[in-house]
């Protein structure tokens, strides 16, 4: 069966959805909500997206895209350059390397894994920003970001799972 140009465009667009959704979540994270003090405690939606896709479709979010999304977030949030990019690359690589542990497991196991990854990512972010700034920053905003991320992950995973159902099956047009 020959694949038409429109079918190829459709497949290409659907294959780009995980990366585009992750970028959209990065944009949502930086929107000015006019809520004082919200930015430091905002949930790690980009990390949640990268975590999900590194388990279920790691090839649809290439490492260079992960890096650029992290760098974009560093630039627009004023974080030290490379902090988010490094954290996202490390988390994505570690989870993708261990994806067999999560595939076919219950949501509770996957959520537990996200709790570990998000905790480690937030601890690493705190350490890097403290070290690069030359002073110890308050860890409480990071703790609240971690808690809000854990609370939001089940809702985000429903969105990711719905999107996952419309993605092309690997190896089939």
Residue closest to 46 by CA, chosen among 100, 85, 99 = 85
| CA pair distance 29, 137, nearest whole angstrom | 21
% residues pLDDT > 90 (the chain): 68
| CA pair distance 64, 71, nearest whole angstrom | 10
| Sign of the alpha-carbon dihedral angle for 38, 141, 133, 115 | negative
The model's pLDDT over 137-168, given as tens digits with 9 standing for 90+, comes to: 999 999 999 999 999 999 999 999 999 888 87
Mean pLDDT of the chain: 89
- pLDDT-derived band at 38 (thresholds 50, 70, 90) equals low
pLDDT at 26: 92
Task: Return the structure tokens found at 99.
Answer: 């994806």
The model's pLDDT over 48-80, given as tens digits with 9 standing for 90+, comes to: 999 999 999 998 899 999 999 999 999 988 889
pLDDT higher than threshold 90 for residue 122: yes
pLDDT higher than threshold 90 for residue 89: yes
Nearest 10 degrees: CA dihedral of 91, 159, 39, 44? -20
pLDDT at 35: 65
Neighbour-count burial of 1, counting CB atoms closer than 10 A to its CB (0-12 exposed, 13-18 middle, 19+ buried) = exposed
CA 114 → CA 76, 153, 161, distances in Å?
25, 8, 15
| CA pair distance 100, 4, nearest whole angstrom | 35
């Amino acid at each position: 069966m020959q694949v038409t140009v429109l079918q190829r465009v459709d497949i290409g667009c659907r294959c780009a959805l995980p990366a585009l959704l992750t970028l959209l979540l990065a944009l949502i994270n930086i929107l000015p909500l006019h809520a004082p003090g919200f930015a430091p405690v905002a949930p790690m939606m980009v990390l949640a997206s990268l975590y999900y896709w590194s388990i279920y479709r790691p090839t649809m979010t290439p490492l260079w895209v992960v890096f650029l999304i992290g760098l974009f977030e560093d630039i627009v949030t004023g974080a030290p350059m490379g902090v988010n990019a490094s954290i996202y690359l490390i988390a994505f690589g570690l989870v993708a390397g261990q994806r067999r542990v999560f595939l076919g497991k219950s949501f509770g196991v996957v959520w537990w894994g996200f709790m570990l990854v998000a905790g480690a990512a937030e601890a690493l972010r705190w350490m890097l920003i403290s070290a690069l700034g030359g002073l110890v920053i308050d860890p409480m905003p990071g703790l609240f970001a971690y808690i809000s991320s854990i609370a939001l992950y089940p809702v985000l995973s429903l969105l990711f799972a719905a999107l996952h159902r419309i993605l092309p099956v690997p190896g089939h047009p």
